[in-house]
Amino acid sequence: MQLRFTKMHGLGNDFVVIDAIRQAVTLAPDQVRFLADRHFGVGCDQVLVVERPTRPGADFRYRIFNPDGGEVGACGNGARCFARFVHERGLTRKRTLVLETLGGDIHTTLLEDGRVQVDMGMPRFEPAAIPFRAPASAPLYTLEVGGETLELSVLALGNPHAVLLVDDVERAPVKRLGPLLEHHERFPERVNVGFLQVVDRHHGRLRVHERGAGETLACGSGACAAAVAGMRRGLFEAEVTLTLPGGDLTIAWPGEGHSVIMTGPATFVFEGSVEL
């Protein structure tokens, strides 16, 4: 099968975007792994597939696959790229879209300056909804990891997220603690892990270990989760700029019962085709 694709990125978080509306596409996990492979395939953090919606009210079905071949429920950086892709490739003229995902609906708005605003939905804090093994919801949880006792915020925002405060994000043990937390027994579906440094009430720095992918240059849902965790702890105002290795994202959250709004760029890199 000859597959046409577009390479895009959001702050260096890079994607292979596949139009499954104008071409017939069915991807097996081994094909996703091949596409994501940076040595033998195209290379990306995630594969995004554009499909027709399966229900009324949605404009498109937005599918997200990690490099290990598994499908996940949310990717904020990918949502921005998806929104630019369908608009600029003529699949829609609408600037505001409802995207159907495995983790629920995502609302996107393409701004006049080319940036994309994403309504990531409301964060969930109940352990069963994350999922996370805990007797009750709490602002912070204590976990034993690799011989250390860590204090974490845990929440769901399309995907499960754990957020750990650090003094210096550059020196944070992302490579060591990221995989240990991802596979911790209290996260039955694994977890994305954010290492957050609070600079001031309007600015933070963040690195994210993504489940099934490892550390990436940017993680949109991870940035939203880190911002919410900081706001719940009284460390940030209701709007904050987070600096990730790939660049800045603006995150706004009025508080519980409200959606998280993320704003950032989406960039085209190149187009190509590959034999699967």
Catalytic residue among 44, 75, 81, 224: 75
Q: Strand, helix or coil at 137?
A: coil
3-state secondary structure of 60: strand
For tokens 């499954």, what's the residue? 20
- CB atoms closer than 10 angstroms to residue 13: 30
What is the phi/psi pair of residue 243, to 5°? -100, 115
Task: List the beta bridge partners of residue 148.
Answer: 145
219 is catalytic: yes
Distance CA 263, CA 276 (A): 35
Please identify which of the residues 44, 81, 219, 224 carries the catalytic annotation: 219
CA–CA distance, 173 with 36 (Å, rounded to integer): 25
- CA 203: distance to chain centroid? 20
Is 75 a residue of the active site?
yes
Catalytic positions, please? Answer: 75, 219
